[in-house]
């Protein structure tokens, strides 16, 4: 009850506030909850003391006592990517008002790092977890299954979802862009992507490219793989060099991302390759650079923030269901994507 502490914030507890206010600690606890039954006068008096002496309640103790962490874990391949950053923002906007704190992890496009992060984050007892993509290590899948919390996989449509899904078919998106290029008269279509399969969404876009090329009866597929994700602008430029050396006849290039597409475009300008006359370029993601560059980049737009928002909404309703002992049946939300016709095709 008495402690030999100095005036640090850490030394302040509800008990001290209670003593100052002449009430019990329980009453202070109620004063700090918005929906507790307490007389307005008592609450006002307590809140006044709290703000005057700068008491900050201890969330660690709260979550320990209430067995609710108030955390949601979210894993993204890269924080430094406009698309995923938008998805994170979408989640934050939905979780913040609900009093949930996002615990962010950056997998750096590595499944083993994802596994490590899942293991570390699960120790924080998140109430739900949001993942990017539908491919995970067996160990990760097992941990997630044992965790017994709502899971949302995003940015993809996994064949065997762990639980909920908010995504779209990257394969279909890749194919759609090839069809668009074909409609615009292109017949020698190439693809530029990463050199590894770490970016599973990128690999699916490439698979969609390959399928569409087959379906359309185009003579051959021209794939340049270059650089390890996250793909950079400069890598696009270098990949263009390889592409033109190997398949000089190429008249359209589909890139795994707007970033590499932009790199291709800039390299074309340096070399004097006319875009789109001699070479059409298409990207993916509708990054700001795609809307702003000259000529403007044809690309595929996805509602990144919407993915985050929908994922958060599913988490919130799953958590709501859990309160009454129910389990929300796995839900899959298919987000639309759209070919955005601009000037590079």
- Return residues touching a second copy (CB under 8 A): 1-4, 6-10, 54, 56-61, 63-64, 67, 69, 79-80, 82, 85-86, 88-89, 92, 101-104, 106, 119-120, 122-125, 142-143, 145-148, 232-234, 237, 259, 262-263, 266, 269-270, 288-289, 291-294, 322, 325, 327
Report helix, strand or coil for 107.
coil
Report helix, strand or coil for 337.
strand
Report helix, strand or coil for 128.
strand
Which structure tokens are listed for 20?
């100052």
- Residue 288, number of CB atoms within 10 A of its CB: 10
User: Please, what is the minimum distance in Å from the beta carbon of residue 2 to DNA?
Assistant: 10
Q: Which residues bind DNA (CB under 7 A)?
A: 3, 10, 13-15, 23-27, 29-30, 32-33, 37-39, 42-43, 57-58, 61-62, 64-68
User: Please, what is the minimum distance in Å from the beta carbon of residue 25 to a second copy?
Assistant: 16
What's the DSSP call for residue 9? Answer: G
42 binds, among DNA, a second copy, none (CB under 5 to 8 A by kind): DNA
* Residue from 202, 201, 174, 204 nearest 189 by CA: 174
66 binds, among a second copy, DNA, none (CB under 5 to 8 A by kind): DNA
d(C-alpha 259, C-alpha 238), whole Å: 13
- Residue 112, number of CB atoms within 10 A of its CB: 11
145 binds, among DNA, a second copy, none (CB under 5 to 8 A by kind): a second copy
User: Please, what is the minimum distance in Å from the beta carbon of residue 5 to DNA?
Assistant: 8
159 binds, among DNA, a second copy, none (CB under 5 to 8 A by kind): none
d(C-alpha 146, C-alpha 168), whole Å: 27
User: Please, what is the minimum distance in Å from the beta carbon of residue 47 to a second copy?
Assistant: 14
- Alpha helix stretches (DSSP H) within 148-199: 170-183
User: Please, what is the minimum distance in Å from the beta carbon of residue 223 to a second copy?
Assistant: 22
142 binds, among DNA, a second copy, none (CB under 5 to 8 A by kind): a second copy
Burial class (CB in 10 A: 0-12, 13-18, 19+), 3: exposed
């Amino acid at each position: 009850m008495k402690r030999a502490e100095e005036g640090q914030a850490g030394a302040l507890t509800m008990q001290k506030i209670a003593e100052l206010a002449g009430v019990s600690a329980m009453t202070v606890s109620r004063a700090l909850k918005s929906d507790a039954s307490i007389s307005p006068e008592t609450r006002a008096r307590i809140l006044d003391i709290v703000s005057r002496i700068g008491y900050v309640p201890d969330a660690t103790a709260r979550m320990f006592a209430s067995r609710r962490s108030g955390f949601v874990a979210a894993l993204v391949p890269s924080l430094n990517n406009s698309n995923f950053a938008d998805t994170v923002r979408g989640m934050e906007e939905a979780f913040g008002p609900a009093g949930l704190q996002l615990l962010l992890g950056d997998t750096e496009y590595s499944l083993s790092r994802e596994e490590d992060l899942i293991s570390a984050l699960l120790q924080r007892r998140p109430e739900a977890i949001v993942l990017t993509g539908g491919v995970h290590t067996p160990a990760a899948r097992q941990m997630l299954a044992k965790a017994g919390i709502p899971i949302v996989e995003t940015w993809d449509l996994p064949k065997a979802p762990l639980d909920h899904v908010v995504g779209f078919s990257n394969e279909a998106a890749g194919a759609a862009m090839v069809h668009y290029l074909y409609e615009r008269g292109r017949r020698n279509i190439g693809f530029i992507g990463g050199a590894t399969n770490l970016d599973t969404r990128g690999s699916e876009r490439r698979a969609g490219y390959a399928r569409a090329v087959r379906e359309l009866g185009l003579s051959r597929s021209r794939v340049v793989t270059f650089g390890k994700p996250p793909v950079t602008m400069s890598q696009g430029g270098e990949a263009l060099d390889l592409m033109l050396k190997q398949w000089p006849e190429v008249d359209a290039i589909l890139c795994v991302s707007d970033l590499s597409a932009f790199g291709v475009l800039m390299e074309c300008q340096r070399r004097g390759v006319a875009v789109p006359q001699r070479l059409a370029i298409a990207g993916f993601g509708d990054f700001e650079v795609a809307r702003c560059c000259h000529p403007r980049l044809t690309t595929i737009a996805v509602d990144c923030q919407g993915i985050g928002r929908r994922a958060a909404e599913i988490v919130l309703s799953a958590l709501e269901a859990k309160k009454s002992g129910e389990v929300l049946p796995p839900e899959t939300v298919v987000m639309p994507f759209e070919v955005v016709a601009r000037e590079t095709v």
